[in-house]
Structure 1
Amino acid sequence: MSGLLQSGYLSVLEAKTKDELLAHVVRFARDLGFQTVTASTVIDHFIGDSEFIWIDNAPAGYREIGEDRNTAKRDPVMQHCKHKSVPIIWSQNTYLDAGQAEVWEEQARFGYRHGICLALHMPEGRHFLFGVDRDQPLPKDVAEITRMVAALQLYAVHAQEASVRLLQPAVVSQEGPSLTPRELETLRWTMEGKTAWEVANVLGISERTAVLHANNAMHKLGCVNKHQAVLKALRLGLIR
């Protein structure tokens, strides 16, 4: 493994802005032999409702395809990463086998023909997707492919650490009361009009615990009822 790749693992942690993070991941991808790279932080807010924050060096015209939710639901690479942590080495055959040849053909026009992609799944409904792509086939040598995958996995761990600071919503670093994930989830579902009993069923907890989470959130936010707490949490950017 080249010294340049090894130094990249630590240097990405020094990125201070979103643009610097992108510059670091692009440099790493090119050192590894890939033209394009995509890093995405995914935050699950509700069942079926996730927030994506992307950085990439996609060519003009591709972003609309890459960020289309309907296409992502059909994309076998995205679906693999959604459910598994094992990296996927993909090519046209990956899409043919999934019956999604047209998805591959659409992205191939922009140079997305072969690649490696993986996902890191963290607690509290947070995920980090990292993929590198190119228009030429990957090496057939197993040792070389193994080296690429290992380098990508190690780098993704470091890039994810930087993404916590730079890709996640500004609310993460915003001053204000610190609510637990359960307290935030309780407020989110309350915002959707759920009762304490319904929130308890959704979260798999007792009704008493759901009420406790709501009361704790109210206390931390300095509010007199849960609905006022929801409004204040929205204003502070704690929930969306």
Structure 2
Amino acid sequence: MNSGVLSHSYLSIMEAKSIEDFRGQIVHFANELGFQYVSAMTVVDQSLTRSDFVTIDNMPLDYRQAGASAVDTHRRDPVMQHCKRGAVPIVWDQETYLRTGAIDLWEEQAAFGYRTGIALALHLPEGRHFMLGVDRDQRLPKEPSELTRIVADLQLFAVHAQDTALRLFVPAEKLVETPSLTPRELEALRWTMEGKTAWEVGSILGISERTAVLHIQNAMRKLGSVNKHQAVLKALRLGLIH
């Protein structure tokens, strides 16, 4: 893909006005990149146990009817699990599924043309996530520089596409409002994340144990959490602590 086509793709996806327009733009980009299929998933965490999903793709109807989107399939799929846990792109093929004991999943999808591909995830503040993957039935380039270029193109396109996806598919009322925590409350949570007790947190911050407990309790209340561990997890998801 030359730079002119790339620039046009970035601009076009940013200007998409509807679901069909968005789908058309990501399919066009994937095809120009040399892939038959593409999938873009927007995820917004509403709580520690519930998330809203919007997926836009060009998956063949017969593959969809075969159960490609089943929850159990996603839980076992090594590509999905990789993207769920990290932000480094994954280049996958048959060997990826073989190593994780999920070769049956690869065989099922390979029958529909999903034999290899590249996928990545952008984990954003406020519990928002964007996953983008391109797939095809032909082997990926063996030349490292060529493969690196494709991955870089996909990453840059994903950055532009995620803004549009959130604008189009996530109503403002469903976006998680980020609680306002004080610097001391955030510090207390960070040290709690490291396994420190309230007494240890107080010693580190130069405050009393009681004050440390109050900071942690205030953080729990603002985050709507029932204990300090849940508060740490939610703060991590919202990007308040790292």
Tell me the TM-score range normalised by the shorter chain: 0.7 to 0.9
Partner AA of 2:80 in structure 1: M
Matched position secondary structure for 1:46: coil
The CA deviation string for residues 17-61 of structure 1, in whole angstroms up to 9 with x for no partner, is 111011000000000000010000011222243221000000012
Separation in structure 2 between the aligned mates of residue 74 and residue 207 of structure 1, nearest angstrom = 37
Matched position secondary structure for 1:61: helix
Aligned residue in 1 for 2:134: 132
Deviation at 1:70, TM superposition (A): 1.2
2:9 paired with 1:8: yes
Which residue, 141, 151, 154 being the options, matches 1:152? 154
Matched position secondary structure for 1:15: coil
2:88 paired with 1:86: yes
Q: Give the 5 Å matches for 1:160-179.
A: 160-169=162-171, 171=173
Q: Could you state the TM-score of these two structures normalised by the residue count of structure 1?
A: 0.72
2:184 paired with 1:182: no
Between stretches 68-77 and 112-121, larger displacement belongs to: 68-77
Aligned residue in 1 for 2:58: 57
Deviation at 1:11, TM superposition (A): 1.3
Deviation at 1:171, TM superposition (A): 3.4
Aligned residue in 1 for 2:79: 77
Task: Tell me how large the CA RMSD over aligned residues is.
Answer: 2.3
Deviation at 1:157, TM superposition (A): 0.2
Closer/same/farther in 2, CA of residues 172 and 101 from structure 1, 3 Å limit: same
Which residue, 86, 105, 108 being the options, matches 1:106? 108
Matched position secondary structure for 1:66: coil
Aligned residue in 1 for 2:23: 22
Partner AA of 2:158 in structure 1: A
Partner AA of 2:115 in structure 1: R
What 5-or-longer segments of structure 1 have no aligned partner?
Answer: 174-178, 184-203, 215-240
Aligned residue in 2 for 1:142: 144
Separation in structure 2 between the aligned mates of residue 212 and residue 39 of structure 1, nearest angstrom = 32
Partner AA of 1:85 in structure 2: A
Closer/same/farther in 2, CA of residues 48 and 7 from structure 1, 3 Å limit: same
Q: Give the 5 Å matches for 1:116-131.
A: 116-131=118-133
Separation in structure 1 between the aligned mates of residue 49 and residue 63 of structure 2, nearest angstrom = 25
Aligned residue in 2 for 1:45: 46
Percent of residue pairs bearing the same amino acid type: 50
Q: Could you state the TM-score of these two structures normalised by the residue count of structure 2?
A: 0.72
Separation in structure 2 between the aligned mates of residue 167 and residue 13 of structure 1, nearest angstrom = 14
The CA deviation string for residues 163-213 of structure 1, in whole angstroms up to 9 with x for no partner, is 11112246359xxxxx83339xxxxxxxxxxxxxxxxxxxx9744456568
Separation in structure 2 between the aligned mates of residue 46 and residue 123 of structure 1, nearest angstrom = 14
